Amino acid sequence: MKFKIDLKIFLFAILFYFTKQIQIYAILMIFALIHELGHLIAGLVLGLKPNKLEIKPYGFSISFKVMPEDYNKKIKNGNLMEAKKIWIALAGPLTNFFAIIIVANLHNTNTFLNTVIMYANILIMLFNLIPIYPLDGGRILKSILHICLGKEKAEDYTNNISFIILIIVTFTASIAILVIKNIAIFLIIIVLWIMYIKEDIVLKRRKKICNLVGKTLEIK
């Protein structure tokens, strides 16, 4: 399995340090790792092999090897691989949900720490369930659409829905920034836009290549 670290994580750490939120950032990163372990365990249980683990400023990301033969195993209205992707994407938020339940039922412990841990897991769980690709919510949406409508429509609809949701989230977050004055919200919005733009560029490139290949075949 390949391992990669985004050096911007140190920039984020410095920003959170000077804004006196480094402890919150550390807790979020710890449970972001636990969240990703949920994805890893689900992938292994479903028979997939991990391909790459990345440490990013806003958490962790793990990808799995997808073999061509996996897409030949058909199920009703879709394929087995997309069904696996849905369960893998759900596993991360479910891991945070279980962590919330466990902490909520702890007694005679540090109440303040428990509260911080609970809020950290709630934040990670809800954030990842936003239907913006490539967040878990976006991945679930894309796989469901793939099963129901096919790959091409799934990519188009997911991209459009991600853009609309991102506009709504940005507007809501802008109000929150003015009220709370928290730099973390600003950074999260920037990260979401970077992820969306990257995926949008990849999608447009893929469409151009498909169109060129199609035109070439027509000429022949």
Lowest model confidence (mean pLDDT) among 75-79, 89-93, 136-140 = 75-79
Cβ–Cβ under 8 Å, residues 163 and 157:
no
At residue 97, the pLDDT reads 94
Same domain, 170 and 124: no
pLDDT attached to residue 17? 78
Question: In this predicted structure, what is the pLDDT of residue 178?
Answer: 80
Q: Does residue 152 sit in the same domain as residue 202?
A: yes
Across the chain, mean pLDDT equals 82
Q: How far apart are CA 204 and CA 212, in angstroms?
A: 12
The token duo for 79 is: 């394929």
Check pLDDT > 80 for residue 1.
no
Inter-residue contact 82 to 93 (CB < 8 Å): no
What type of residue is 54? Answer: E
Percent pLDDT > 70 in the chain is 88
Q: What are phi and psi of 134, to 5 degrees?
A: -105, 30
Confidence of residue 143 (pLDDT cuts 50, 70, 90): very high
Q: 140 and 90 in contact (C-beta within 8 Å)? A: yes
24 plus 53 within the same structural domain: yes
On whether both 79 and 184 belong to a single domain, the answer is no
Strand order of the β-sheet with 2-5 is 2-5, 49-56, 59-65
d(CA 61, CA 33): 9
Other C-beta atoms closer than 10 Å to the C-beta of 28 total 23
Q: Are residues 158 and 124 in the same domain?
A: no
Instruction: Tell me the two tokens of residue 120.
Output: 């950290």
**Among residues of the chain, what percentage have pLDDT more than 90?**
27
Of 71, 103, 129, which residue is a domain's last?
129
* Range name among 110-114, 139-143, 197-201 with the lowest pLDDT average: 110-114
User: Do 117 and 30 reside in the same domain of the chain?
Assistant: yes
pLDDT mean over 159-171: 93
Q: How confident is the model at residue 77 (pLDDT cuts 50, 70, 90)?
A: very low
Look at residue 125 in the predicted model and tell me its pLDDT: 92
Say yes or no to pLDDT of 180 above 90: no
User: Is pLDDT at 192 greater than 50 in this prediction?
Assistant: yes
Q: Do 109 and 135 lie in a common domain? A: no
Same domain, 162 and 58: no
Q: Which of 108, 129, 150 is the last residue of a domain?
A: 129
Measured distance CA(94)–CA(102) in Å, rounded: 12
Whether 137 and 79 map to the same domain: the answer is: no
Q: Which range, 15-19, 70-74, 191-195, is most confident?
A: 191-195
pLDDT in tens, 81-105: 888 899 999 999 999 999 999 888 8
Structural domain of 98: 1-129
What would the pLDDT profile of 20-72 be if each residue is shown by its tens digit? 778 877 888 888 889 999 999 998 898 888 888 888 877 788 888 765 544 44
Q: Does 208 lie in the same domain as 144?
A: yes
Total domain count, the chain: 2
> Partners of 49 in the beta sheet?
65
137 and 174 share one domain: yes
Tell me, rounded to whole angstroms, the distance of Cα 106 from its chain centroid: 29
Within this chain, do residues 100 and 27 fall inside the same structural domain, yes or no? yes
Q: Look at residue 96 in the predicted model and tell me its pLDDT.
A: 93
Q: Which of 95, 129, 163 is the last residue of a domain?
A: 129
